[in-house]
Amino acid sequence: MSLTVVGSVAFDALETPFGKRDKILGGAATHFGLSASFFTQVNAVGVVGGDFGDEEWAVFKRHNINTDDIQIVPDGKTFFWKGRYEYDMNVAHTLDTQLNVFETFAPKLSENSKSAKFLFLANILPALQKQVRQQVPDAEFVALDTMNLWLEIMKDDVIETIKMVDCIIINDAEARQLTEEPNLHKAAKKIMDYGLRAVVIKRGEYGATLFTKDGYFAVPAYPLESVFDPTGAGDTFAGGFMGYLAAHKEVTDATLRRAMVYGSVMASFNVEKFGTERVDALDYPEINERFKAFKTMTHFDDIPFERATTA
């Protein structure tokens, strides 16, 4: 089944202890779309300026991502973000943000994008997320992301939008901020009460956790010796998660759990190079090999403990 993603397409400037890039392809819809494209057909909805060139379009084309709904503003500039990471890769220091054409972004969905059975609302204004959701009334499974800024200044709008979707994919700090609950299990329960089918809480280097009405599942992060750039890892996770679900006829607890693993697999590749460099060059054997590694990492024999007795 096809999958539509609505979000940012951007240029990033990145600096980490392992190197820097002055201008590289980024954005939530970009990272999500590349990741999901390994599992299903993806429609990307966004906006770029006239500075978005052939090299950037080629990345989408290589992965057969439908870009018909990415608006082009010829005399405008593409959304730009500059950030720096220190050795604690969990914290990004924003050095510059230029919304440019993204500031007035009004998503316009073609009939093809509207007909998708799966929809991901990346981190954009809650009001825009709500508008997009209303344009895709027949979607069978809808997930969204949000951010701390919206939770600070328009929390009620975020909650109203959450009530319109099936799943939320956020990090642990955002889950606590949304619910004002320090315990993640209690926070997830409060979020589920909005009527969701699933709550996914990303925990960075500690993996991710899935909460549903009938269960709980946790997947670790893949152990890597070198992490070059964590930018877009969360959106890459969401892309793998939603892409895998869209490749199946039914969303069950079992498919949600496997989707969690594939999301983590894709995110682990994303951080191995800057921007989209690693995922762009990825192939299916690498994905399947790492999926098997996750299974080996988390497998244990079901042998109950028996206390030794002494005569």
Looking at residue 28, which CATH number applies to its domain? 3.40.1190.20
Q: Domain count of the chain?
A: 1
Q: What is the pLDDT of residue 204?
A: 85
Q: Is 289 contained in some domain? A: yes
Predicted confidence (pLDDT) per residue in 189-215, tens digit? 999 999 999 999 999 888 999 999 989
Q: Is 102 contained in some domain? A: yes
Q: Is 275 contained in some domain? A: yes
Contact present, 184 and 158 (Cβ < 8 Å) = no
Q: What is the pLDDT of residue 311?
A: 56
Q: Is 309 contained in some domain? A: no
Q: Is 251 contained in some domain? A: yes
Predicted confidence (pLDDT) per residue in 20-52, tens digit? 999 999 999 999 999 999 999 999 999 999 999
Q: Is 221 contained in some domain? A: yes
Residues of the chain with pLDDT > 90, as a percent, come to 87
Predicted confidence (pLDDT) per residue in 210-224, tens digit? 999 989 999 999 998
Range of the domain at 258: 3-298
Instruction: Output phi, psi for 145, to 5 deg.
Output: -120, 160
Which position has the token pair 């005569």?
Answer: 311
Q: What is the pLDDT of residue 310?
A: 64
Please give the order of strands across the beta sheet that includes 3-6: 66-73, 42-49, 3-6, 118-121, 141-144, 167-171, 198-202, 208-212, 216-219
Query: pTM for the complete prediction?
Result: 0.95
Q: What is the pLDDT of residue 57?
A: 98
Is residue 70 pLDDT above 90, yes or no? yes
Predicted confidence (pLDDT) per residue in 226-255, tens digit? 788 999 999 999 999 999 999 998 999 999
User: CA–CA separation, 219 vs 210, rounded Å?
Assistant: 8
Instruction: Output phi, psi for 172, to 5 deg.
Output: -65, -40
Is residue 54 pLDDT above 70, yes or no? yes
Q: Is 307 contained in some domain? A: no
Q: What is the pLDDT of residue 89?
A: 78
Q: Is 155 contained in some domain? A: yes
Is residue 271 pLDDT above 90, yes or no? yes
